[in-house]
Amino acid sequence: MGTPDLVPRPRSVTATGGAGFVPGPGTTLDAGPGTEDTARLLRAALGAATGLPLPPPTASAAGSGDGGGGGGGDVIRLRVDGAVAAALGPEGYRLEVTADGAELRGGGPAGAFWATQTLRQLLGPDAYRRAPLPGRARSLPPVRIEDAPRFAWRGLLLDVARHFTPKEGVLRWLDLLAAHRLNVLHLHLTDDQGWRLEVARFPRLTEVGAWRPRTRIGHGASTLWDERPHGGFYTRDDIREIVAYAAERHITVVPEIDIPGHSRAAVAAHPELGNTDVPGLTAPGVWTDWGISPDVLAPTEEVLRFYEGVLTEVLDLFPGEFVHIGGDECPRDQWRASPAARERAAELGLDGVDGLQGWFTRHFGHWLAERGRRLVGWDEILDGTPGDGADPGPGAVITSWRGYGGGIAAARAGHDVVMCPEQQVYLDHRQDGGPDEPVPIGYVRTLRDVYAFEPVPPELAGTAAERHVLGAQANLWTEAVEDQRRADYQAFPRLAAFAEAVWAPLGARDRADFEGRMDRTHYARLDALGVAYRPPSGPYPWQRRPGVPGRPVQGPPPVR
């Protein structure tokens, strides 16, 4: 028997020979301290797929096996193990299957959880179904696995501002991330086209800002419109549920509230946030088009207080360390046309209005740091002179999207970095150059291209700055991605390739081997999960969208 088709590929997989383990009605699930939540999730998932109850062992059997193995048979044993933590870190794990059962030891609760995701893959694609299929054999192969991730930040950005993903859809994404051992969901909650987070002290943000009257179909030169209103938002309890659901799966949810650009939906709800003294400017509505709106926040103390109020509620809802404030694509035209903005820049001692973005960033970087959080921003927040834009506050993290350059500069300056270059891992970009790709956007980024993505560029590899690369994330923007089916198509199977790129050790990737594992087994797992992925042979007829213009970019993407 060969090694199993696991995705992402573990660090070490050894087929040990002999008989595997066949779980049955008498199989117990023995969860040690720190693994109780993971055991509950595993019992629910495998119970649904197999019909097995997997009860806890009796009191006399539960204590066995806490040393170096052994104990009673017919058991799946979960443990947190200090020796594993010392060797592999808190997300590392060791998993061994024998004829008597399976033993899963994590360096921490997260490691134990990732071990269960591997165990589920070992059971075969039917382990991802919600009811047992009659007459199907189920067994675990005899195997020994030692595994740990290469990077601590392994993420996906989901843009829910352009096209809203209902709460149930977000929970589904969390399950898909967990199945691929990804551990960050970056939620892009606000933009010109919609505000998706309920803020109790400012109800108009969702009463007005969460809804737009119509939506452009396609991109670029498209003249097609969907005349139905589009929108939606997450209540505070929705967010609490999403965050708790993610935490059970050892996934961090990073909220993004855009400041000071990409703010038209907020200004539509509260016109006083905008640059109201610009001659001829009228109060805008929520934007119905794509691209970059010229509407930006006014550089006033009142706007700072407003967003401090917003972020106070964000901190209450999202307990994680990181809060993203956007900071990308901020036009300066309204500031240049605003007498108040020009005066404000002079009062602050800035070299013109271009320094106002850095002023916003510095304020919220320090504000968040005072509350024990870390600002995250797109690489533009480091643009400008040292006094105007290069001080995002203590502990700031840079998400490098305009290529590798911003991340390289940030790491060399001592900032932590998450690599997500548009040219490599933007999943809204088209997957093929042919005419059948639906609403073709950006560069051609095939499954093989994403698999070849390397988060650490040569300029940082082997240098002291390399340690600042926390990891990477793939970004799925939704201007041309209107629903779950389209999102599935854009994300998969490329997200599986990305997961291996950020999990597997440097030098351990093998593209042909990966494609073989996908073909033999992993596409069947995605089928069982109900994922409407792009087939390797090209889109099905119902996945195409003939006649809907996109915004393709010709030629190979630059590496910069």
Cα separation of 22 and 167, whole Å? Answer: 37
Amino acid at 450: V
**At residue 443, does pLDDT exceed 80?**
yes
pLDDT of residue 68: 42
Sorting pLDDT into bands at 50, 70 and 90, what band is 148?
A: very high
Cα separation of 479 and 417, whole Å? Answer: 26
| Percentage of the chain lying above the pLDDT 90 cut | 91
DSSP 3-state percent helix, strand, coil across the chain (nearest 5): 35, 15, 50
Beta bridge partners of 156: 185, 474
Cα separation of 11 and 175, whole Å? Answer: 23
Residue-wise pLDDT for 385-435, tens only, equals 444 546 788 899 999 999 999 999 999 999 999 999 999 999 999 999 999
Of the candidates 173, 305, 170, 331, the one whose C-alpha atom is nearest the C-alpha of residue 235 is: 170
Of the candidates 19, 37, 50, 57, the one whose C-alpha atom is nearest the C-alpha of residue 116 is: 37
pLDDT of residue 385: 45
Q: Confirm whether pTM is higher than 0.95.
A: yes
166-170, 221-225, 310-314: range with lowest mean pLDDT: 221-225
Cα separation of 113 and 45, whole Å? Answer: 13
Sorting pLDDT into bands at 50, 70 and 90, what band is 40?
A: very high
pLDDT of residue 387: 45
123-132, 165-174, 246-255, 385-394: range with lowest mean pLDDT: 385-394
- Tokens 């595993």 locate to 42
Domains of the chain are 12-57+74-147 (3.30.379.10)
Residues with catalytic roles: 329
Average pLDDT for 295-313? 98
**At residue 294, does pLDDT exceed 90?**
yes
pLDDT of residue 283: 84
pLDDT of residue 79: 98
pLDDT of residue 58: 87
**At residue 132, does pLDDT exceed 60?**
yes
Pull the structure tokens for residue 75: 């058991």
Residue-wise pLDDT for 519-559, tens only, equals 999 999 999 999 999 999 999 999 999 999 999 999 888 87
Residue-wise pLDDT for 382-394, tens only, equals 986 444 546 788 8
pLDDT of residue 65: 52
**At residue 72, does pLDDT exceed 70?**
no
pLDDT of residue 295: 97
User: What is the pLDDT of the chain when averaged over all its residues?
Assistant: 95
Q: Which residues contact 121 (CB under 8 A, 6 or more apart)?
A: 4, 5, 6, 7, 127, 525
- Burial of residue 450 (CB within 10 Å: 0-12, 13-18, 19+) is buried
Report DSSP letters for 390-456, one per residue. S---TT-EEEE-SSSHHHHHHHHTT-EEEE--HHHHBTTS-S-SSTTSSS-EES---HHHHHT--SS
Higher pLDDT, 221 or 455: 455
Q: Which residues contact 63 (CB under 8 A, 6 or more apart)?
A: none
| Percentage of the chain lying above the pLDDT 70 cut | 96
Sorting pLDDT into bands at 50, 70 and 90, what band is 66?
A: low
Residue-wise pLDDT for 348-375, tens only, equals 999 999 999 999 999 999 999 999 999 9
